């Protein structure tokens, strides 16, 4: 019996619909983000990080040179601080497509960030480092010191996030703009973002970044002017919107902080107690003209000889004769820690341990350690708590209190104790 023509047409149409539906389903699956298809990783201690080489290339859309432009565009933020999702890796004997290679690079970076982000909360750990020499832990190291440094990081992040939630809750809803990332330096090979806090080891950190980037073979070979006045290191605000968002969401973000009173005294000693062709004429002259009665003509001409109480008067004056400077500005303004979710928070007081621990986490070369040398005025003692107390003893109790209030968020956010017993 011969099938009717109408029946055959109906069968053909039904087969075509099935074929088109199957093709559409395959296309939909192929376009899905792998992160949506893999289960979310469970928080836990991640000690088993595998050794890996530095990243010499970037995923599509993240080139170093192709996305540079002036930071005029407002950058919108949609970054999650939650646990990254796992990503599937291809079998070793399968050829990798560009999409798979990019996925693998992102997975490696996520694992490194999880090592810091997913440690359990711990009790407060003192900031001062041990007198014992630091030994860079190798891959898979599980000794007590490694665990202690992990827990210290988790505690610092917890304190910082609680302070932000209590006092800066609105910051988390703001958009990241180029101004917020203007102090962040980029090292693309190891996928690191470093927020510069002056007088907290920033010169030597820039040297380390230059060595990581392959711009120098040793930190000792890099001069002060090359560090601060060269253009070897790029700032994050010089990238376009896509470049900024890509790096903020995939790179390891870190900053180093310092006890605020010590940092302030260190800045004063560096900029006003030594010859300086910028700070004396720009800041010194304005400070002396406003706050020193009967200032000599020579002092007004050169701006030299500013005293610490006069400097503090300038700092606390809401109508300053000259603006703020990064060397004594708040860390909360320089690095926006309530807006940007930093993966690593180091302290100047435990610099050697923290710095070398961070270098281990990013798999820096084993022979690269944080330099110990003093960048400027090497014959002069570093500013310590004792030296800072000597300078603050020149102030009245009210001036000390107002200076503490000025830096209160930095004290609270980074868990520093009150430097004087009479402060409240």
Q: Are 196 and 367 in contact (CB under 8 A)?
A: no
Per-residue pLDDT for the chain (424 aa), expressed as one digit of tens each? 555 555 666 666 766 667 766 666 665 555 444 333 333 333 333 333 333 344 444 433 333 333 333 333 333 333 333 333 333 323 334 445 545 555 555 555 445 444 444 443 333 333 333 333 444 555 455 568 888 999 999 999 999 999 999 987 776 667 899 999 999 999 999 999 999 999 999 999 999 999 999 998 888 888 877 887 777 899 999 999 999 999 999 999 999 999 999 999 999 999 999 999 999 999 999 999 999 999 999 999 999 999 999 999 999 999 999 999 999 999 999 999 999 999 999 999 999 999 999 999 999 999 999 998 777 777 788 999 999 999 999 999 999 999 999 999 999 999 999 999 999 9
d(CA 418, CA 215): 41
Buried b (16+ CB within 10 A) or exposed e, 88-111: eeeeeeeeeeeebebbbbbbbbbb
Buried b (16+ CB within 10 A) or exposed e, 193-227: bbbbbbbbbbbbbbbbbbbbbeebeebeebeeebb
The model carries a pTM of: 0.68
206: left (phi over 0), alpha (psi -120 to 50) or beta: alpha
In the chain, the largest separation of any two C-alpha atoms, in whole Å, equals: 121
């Amino acid at each position: 019996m011969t099938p009717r023509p109408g029946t055959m047409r109906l069968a053909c149409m039904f087969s075509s619909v099935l074929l088109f539906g199957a093709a559409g389903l395959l296309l939909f699956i192929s376009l899905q983000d792998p992160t949506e298809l893999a289960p979310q990783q469970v928080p836990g201690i991640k000690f088993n990080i595998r050794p890996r080489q530095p990243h010499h290339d970037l995923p599509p859309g993240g080139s170093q040179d192709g996305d540079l432009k002036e930071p005029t565009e407002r950058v919108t933020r949609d970054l999650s601080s939650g646990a990254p999702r796992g990503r599937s890796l291809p079998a070793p004997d399968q050829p990798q497509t560009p999409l798979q290679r990019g996925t693998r690079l992102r997975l490696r970076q996520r694992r490194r960030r999880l090592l810091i982000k997913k440690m359990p909360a711990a009790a407060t750990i003192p900031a001062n480092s041990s007198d014992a020499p630091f030994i860079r832990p190798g891959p898979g190291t599980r000794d007590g010191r490694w665990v202690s440094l992990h827990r210290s990081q988790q505690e610092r992040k917890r304190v910082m996030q609680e302070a932000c939630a209590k006092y800066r809750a609105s910051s988390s809803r703001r958009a990241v703009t180029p101004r917020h990332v203007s102090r962040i330096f980029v090292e693309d090979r190891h996928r690191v973002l470093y927020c510069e806090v002056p007088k907290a080891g920033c010169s030597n950190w820039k040297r380390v970044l230059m060595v990581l980037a392959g711009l120098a073979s040793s930190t000792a070979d890099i001069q002060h002017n090359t560090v601060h006045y060269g253009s070897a290191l790029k700032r994050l605000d010089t990238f376009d919107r896509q470049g900024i968002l890509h790096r903020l969401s995939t790179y390891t973000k870190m900053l180093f902080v310092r006890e605020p009173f010590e940092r302030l005294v260190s800045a004063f000693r560096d900029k006003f107690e030594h010859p300086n062709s910028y700070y004396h004429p720009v800041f010194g002259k304005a400070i002396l003209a406003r706050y020193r009665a009967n200032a000599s003509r020579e002092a007004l001409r050169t701006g030299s000889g500013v005293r610490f109480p006069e400097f503090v008067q300038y700092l606390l004056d809401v109508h300053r004769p000259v603006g703020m400077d990064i060397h004594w500005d708040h860390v909360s303004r320089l690095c926006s820690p309530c807006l940007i979710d930093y993966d690593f928070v180091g302290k100047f007081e435990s610099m050697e341990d923290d710095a070398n621990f961070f270098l281990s986490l990013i798999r820096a070369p084993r022979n690269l350690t944080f330099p110990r040398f003093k960048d400027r005025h090497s014959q002069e003692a570093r500013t310590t708590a004792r030296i800072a107390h000597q300078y603050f003893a020149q102030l009245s109790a009210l001036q000390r209190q107002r200076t503490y209030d000025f830096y209160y968020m930095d004290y609270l956010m980074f868990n520093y104790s009150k430097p004087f017993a009479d402060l409240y």
